[in-house]
A and B are shown apart, each in its own frame.
Chain A
Amino acid sequence: MSGPEAEVLRDAGAAEAALPGGPGAPNGRGLVERVARVRELGIVVALVALFGVTGAVNPAFLGFDSLRDILLNSAIIAMLAVGQTLVVVTRNVDLSVSSIVGLAAFGGAVILADDPGVPIPVVIAGCVLLGALCGAVNGLLVGVAKVPALVATLGTLYAFRGIDFAVAGGRQVNAADMPEAFLSLGSGSVLGLPLLALVAVVVLLAVGWMMGNLPWGRELYAIGSNPDAAVLAGIRVRRRVVTAFVVNGALAGLAGVMWAARFGTVDATVATGKELDVIAAVVVGGVAIFGGSGTVYGAALGALLLSSITSALAVLRVDALAQTAINGALLIAAIVLDRVLALRVAAALRRRRYRDAR
């Protein structure tokens, strides 16, 4: 039975979530935290091993240009993984992110190509707003109308993409149509670090800090740990869930602009199927698919790991077609590992409780 062990762990996670920094917390807290740290450490070890092996086969993989490329490639997925974490932590999921990225990328690119007079910051803000609007549709469907997130966002995945196709009508915007200044955002660097990666890091740190320290951040964990208890605890669940979806949509809109700036060629098919990479990154990064635990840092590390594997495959001359299978296998390995860890922790917590009771 999957029930009791998972509940023990979830209760421990909820207690931890509700009392940030409570020093007198029972010793279960330290254990849960240590496991979370081990989980993230595991990804770092996997990353080091990946870079070690690939670097040994081809030292150019560790060169400046190659590392820069990997950072650039992972920036967009990492950004989406950060947003997805907000949603997944509340025990929901947003499958429509890739369609929001596509819609924002095409919308932004078309405006830049057709009305060169519009200032670039306005276009970026518009795309973020468009993303937030799409997120609000998801949020209202899930939070207010109580449509299960899986169904609602599977529907909007196709609905948003359909709107994208209807607007685009087969049109493609090329790099030559867009202003130089905009494209340089996608390829530019500050102090040798790619600008897009910096944006992703800033977003990561900001969201990470908010989820760890602000009340609404902790409330997201509480909602995911136990939705009914969250209602009883006076948390405005509906509002928080809608907010999580809106923020996720806004980040997807920003990712859409970044996509347009980075690749320069935009049509209605942009980012199709990327939702899977994002969810794989989040789950590999240790965010529990049923909510209540995991961090945005883990999710970003997961995104970095998956993008690095893509690059490594190219260097190792493994067929790129194997990438999908590897993503799927990693995702399954990650949830199996999480499950085993959860069972271990639950058993350890039970033992401690028993000992304390004596």
Chain B
Amino acid sequence: MPAEKPARSPETPARSAEATAEGAFGRLTGLARRWEGLILVLLVAVMLWASFAVDGFANPSNVSFLLLDTTEIAIMALTMTLVIVAAEIDLSVASTLGLSCAVLGWLWNAGLAIETIMPICLLVGALCGAVNGLLVTRLGLPSLAVTIGTFALYRGLAYVILGDQAVADLPPAYTGLATQTFGPIPLVTVLVAILAALAAVVLHATGLGRSIFALGSNEEAAFFAGVRVKRIKFWLFTASGVFASLASLVYTFRYASARADNGVGLELAVVAAVLLGGVSIFGGRGSLPGVLMAVLLLGVVRNALILADVANEVLNFVTGLLLVASVLAPNLGAVWRRRTTRRSVRLEGNTPR
């Protein structure tokens, strides 16, 4: 998994740099690092528990099913991480996926070659993202409101284009490719790994990534430091749309069915994974390895519960709970730390800093 890719971030200074001017900064990244560690421990623990306690979990075919099942969420979580680090949000990703599926089904019914349709789908995704980006950057609208609106708009357009029909007679060459595996590793997981490496390099090893962190933590300061805030945000939203339509291609071929309601509700899983991965909803903090581990963790929990015959809706309950817990835990931890430091300061005789 690409999760092992080391995050070469200049933001993670040496651990000993605490009492220096970078103290607050160091503490923050320290928390993030501890959070990722926590997710990793949790992931390993759940995997161990599931392999022993849940029948058929450690089975190779189940492992490849598990990986296959997290593909779309993983792809969309990559760009969602960048968007949320930039202190914005894109709730329309699942609807963009649906619209792209609908366009695929519609054009296939119209008799176009699948090789022509796929780039068109990616273009549709780019367009969806660009509309979000324009509304957010040019008009200065809050991305939450904009993407709740386009969440409805894109899904609605998908229904207008394809109605409630399902297009299932897709070319077997491509549906086969989407479920092809090498041993327990599905082909599409390789695609995810490549995309993840790309996104991780952009976020953690390039100037663009630094700019994204900068504008996410303080947009005005970033602007005055010369970061092209609007341009970067616009392209982040566009990339989010492209990745959503990429996910739609995988989704459509994997289930061999193009429908307007493909992927309804996936935006929750994506946002949940990103936040669980330690990305701050207020922007400026987070890392891709953490997000990928969180995607995997949610996938494992889901898979294990399905194998244990837990109903689908109860699974959503667990996802919702994990989402709330992922934000609640660090908050409560911060409150607790503040209390204890205040007490220790008082005990030490109240030395002014």
Contact = CB atoms under 8 A, between A and B. Distances in A.
Interface residues of B, number: 47
User: What DSSP secondary structure best describes chain A's contact surface?
Assistant: helix
B144 to A, nearest CB: 6
Nearest to A331: B149
A148 B281 contact: yes
A158 interface: yes
A274 to B, nearest CB: 12
A156 B148 CA distance: 17
23 contacts: A2-B140, A151-B271, A151-B323, A151-B327, A152-B324, A152-B327, A155-B272, A155-B324, A156-B320, A157-B268, A157-B320, A162-B313, A268-B313, A289-B142, A289-B145, A321-B156, A324-B159, A325-B156, A327-B156, A331-B153, A332-B149, A335-B141, A336-B135
B64 interface: no
A159 B314 CA distance: 8
Contacts of A1: 140, 220, 223
B345 to A, nearest CB: 22
Interface of A: 1-3, 6, 93, 141, 145-148, 150-152, 154-159, 161-166, 268, 276, 279-280, 283, 289-290, 319, 321-329, 331-332, 335-336, 339
Nearest to B152: A328
Given A321-B164, A335-B141, A156 B314 contact: no
Contacts of B139: 336, 339
Contact of B311 (A154, A165, A319, A322): A165
Given A165-B311, A336-B135, A151 B275 contact: yes
Contacts of A159: 317, 320-321, 324
A280 B152 contact: yes
Interface string B298-326: 00000000000001011111111101100
Given A161-B313, A162-B320, A332-B135, A154 B268 contact: yes
B185 interface: no
A150 B186 CA distance: 35
B331 interface: yes
A148 B313 CA distance: 24
Given A324-B155, A332-B149, A335-B146, A147 B324 contact: yes
Contacts of A324: 152-153, 155-156, 159
B316 to A, nearest CB: 4
Given A325-B160, A329-B156, 7 more contacts: A141-B324, A155-B272, A159-B317, A162-B318, A276-B152, A280-B149, A319-B163
A145 B331 contact: yes
Contact of A323 (B156, B271, B281, B282): B156
B157 interface: yes
A322 B317 contact: no
B148 A331 contact: yes
Nearest to A152: B324
A162 B331 contact: no
A328 B327 contact: no
A147 B268 contact: no
